[in-house]
Amino acid sequence: MNYPVIKSKNLRPYQICNCCVMDTTDEDIVFDSKGVCMRCNEYKERIEPEWNYGKGHEKELQELISAIKKSGEGKQYDCILGLSGGLDSAYMLHLAVKEWGLRPFVFHIDTGWNLLVAEENIRKVTKKLGVKLHIEKMNWDEMREMQLAWFRTGLEMLDAPQDHAFISVIDKYAQKLGVKYILNGYNVCTEVVADPASWEKGAGPTGDGTYIKDVVKKHCNIPIKDYTYTSGLKHKFAIPYLKGVKTIKPLNLVEFTKESMIKTLADEYGYVPYGQKHFEDLITKFLEGWWQPTRFGHDIRRAQLSSLVVTGQMTRDEALKILEQPSLSEEESKELFSEVAKRLEISEKELMKFHGMPECTEKFKSQEKFYNLGIKVYEKLGIEKRIRK
């Protein structure tokens, strides 16, 4: 079935990168005279030489592991690791505990949308590694109402309540536990082509509590009391620079591919992959697999597959072939649609009404200016090196 897609106001002739599969559905995309996009060029010029497929970083990794262990001497934990159940965080836990001998505080946020397969994966991996799992269970009535609030805005990035909760809980433990390192699962290997900002219009940065609170204030019909907020000031300044808690991305210091990650986890723990990145929870699967493509015309797989293409794990033709088919079959989409409506306690008709809303023009308070200023200052001082722009 076809749905009317919201058309970008900056419509331009269709073009797709000659190197990856990013195209003009990212309205900010820029191509060079050879038809290669700016992301591919940035990758080739700057990121690939430094990352080098995870090779040649052994000394850096060893020093880092020693520093983490030293910082944790006499403490129960030496780092923090948030386990979503997704491939990256599960693989990082495997490396951290089994290969590097670290003692992470491992937590998982249960926002109420977990799929059984993800819960099983989390259980299998933590059990075999002998790691205690701390489950942070969110107040479901609040999460449901917050999810509805984001639907009411008409915005594209409707995952904000879950994403912000994750950052807030990391910040909470970073302050509470006294550890000096947070392990972040970001990796060039599978994520170097990031989701374009033009697909996230109107949303604040993930750690932006001002934005979250403003949407809650304007669109929630019940008081939100238990939810944990953080802020740019806390997340980007107080924790890293006053508390001295470093967020590190160790997956960029080791050599692996998406396929080898899956194989290791499947062989060692019986881990079951989800078919698509972020498909470990019901709402994200629904939003990324069906809502965004049919309402906004953006297919998040373009960025995910492009990461695999530019890093040589898949050919461009293979990626194009995958994109010919939708993420979810019609039948699966229907099932998900009614499940989401049921969980939100609204009728399918109401959910469909949100789908047909015009593009959001409402402005929300945000700390974006603070973030942008912070990035400039940090870059000037050379204390925050960003892997991508």
Q: Give the burial class of 219: count Cβ atoms within 10 A of its Cβ; 0-12 exposed, 13-18 middle, 19 or more buried.
A: middle
# chain residues binding Zn ion, by CB under 5 A: 6
Is there binding between residue 303 and Zn ion (CB under 5 A)?
no
Quick check: helix, strand or coil at residue 98? helix
Pick 184 or 306: Cβ nearer Zn ion: 306
Question: Helix 160-177 crosses helix 209-219 at what angle (to 10 degrees)?
Answer: 130
Using the rule CB under 5 A, which residue among 17, 29, 81, 319 binds Zn ion?
17
Question: What is the nearest approach in angstroms of Zn ion to the Cβ of residue 310?
Answer: 7
Is there binding between residue 68 and Zn ion (CB under 5 A)?
no
User: CA-to-CA distance for 2 and 355, rounded, in angstroms?
Assistant: 13
Nearest one of 254, 109, 122, 113 to 187, comparing CA atoms: 254
Using the rule CB under 5 A, which residue among 16, 20, 157, 336 binds Zn ion?
20
Pick 40 or 102: Cβ nearer Zn ion: 40
Nearest one of 112, 105, 104 to 140, comparing CA atoms: 112
What DSSP designation does 37 have? B
Question: Which of these segments, 21-29, 78-86, 218-226, 351-359, binds Zn ion (CB under 5 A)?
Answer: 21-29
Pick 34 or 353: Cβ nearer Zn ion: 34
Question: What is the nearest approach in angstroms of Zn ion to the Cβ of residue 298?
Answer: 16
Question: What is the nearest approach in angstroms of Zn ion to the Cβ of residue 308?
Answer: 12
Retrieve residue 30's tokens: 């820029």
User: CA-to-CA distance for 310 and 384, rounded, in angstroms?
Assistant: 25
> Is the Cβ–Cβ distance between 279 and 161 less than 8 Å?
no
Pick 19 or 351: Cβ nearer Zn ion: 19
Site string for Zn ion, 25-64 (x = CB under 5 A): ------------x--x------------------------
Residue 169 has phi, psi (to 5 degrees) of -70, -40
The set of residues, in sequence order, having a beta carbon less than 8 Å from that of 59 and lying 6+ positions away, is none
Pick 34 or 321: Cβ nearer Zn ion: 34
Is there binding between residue 21 and Zn ion (CB under 5 A)?
no
Is there binding between residue 314 and Zn ion (CB under 5 A)?
no
Question: What is the nearest approach in angstroms of Zn ion to the Cβ of residue 16?
Answer: 9
Residue 149 has phi, psi (to 5 degrees) of -55, -45
Question: Which of these segments, 12-20, 75-83, 84-92, 295-303, binds Zn ion (CB under 5 A)?
Answer: 12-20
Is there binding between residue 19 and Zn ion (CB under 5 A)?
yes
Question: What is the nearest approach in angstroms of Zn ion to the Cβ of residue 113?
Answer: 32
Question: What is the nearest approach in angstroms of Zn ion to the Cβ of residue 303?
Answer: 10
Beta strands in the chain (DSSP E): 79-82, 104-110, 133-137, 181-183, 246-248
Q: Which residues bind Zn ion (CB under 5 A)?
A: 17, 19-20, 22, 37, 40
